[in-house]
Structure 1
Amino acid sequence: MNTASLAKRLIGHALFWPVTVLVVMLLANIVFTPGFLDIRIEQGHLYGSLIDILLFGAPLILVAIGMTMVIATGGIDLSVGATVAISGALACDLISKGHGLPVAIGTAVGVSVLLGLWNGLLVTRLGIQPIIATLILMVAGRGIAQLITGGQIITINDQGYKLIGGGYWLGLPFAIILVAVALAVTAVLTRRTALALLIEAVGGNAEAARLTGIRSRGLIVLAYVFCGLCAGVAGLMISSNTLSADGNNAGLWIELDAILAVVLGGTALTGGRFSLAGTVLGALIIQTLDTTIYTAGIPPRTTLVFSAAVVTIVCLIQSPAFRARFSRKKRRRPAPPVPTNPQQEVAA
Structure 2
Amino acid sequence: MSCIMVLAEHRQGNLRDITFELLALARNLAEPMKLKVNCLLLGKDNEALAQNLTNFADEVTSVTAEILANFNSEIYRKVITRIAKEHKPSLILIGHTAFGIDLAPGLAYELNLPLITDCIEVLHENNKLVMTRQVFSGKLNARMRFKTESGVLTIRAGTFKPTAPQREASIERSEMNRKGTIVESALGGLSPELLTGYASNFLGYEEAPTTGIDITKADIIVAIGRGIKEQKNLPIVEELAKTIGGELACTRPVIDAGWLPKDRQVGSSGKTVKPKLYIALGISGAFQHISGMKQAQTIVAVNKDPNAPIFSVAHYGIVGDLLKIVPTLSEKIKEIGLK
Same fold (TM over 0.5): no
TM-score, normalised to structure 2, is 0.24
Higher helix share: 1
- Structure with the greater alpha carbon radius of gyration: 1
TM-score, normalised to structure 1, is 0.23
User: Higher relative contact order by CA 8 Å / sep ≥ 6: 1 or 2?
Assistant: 1
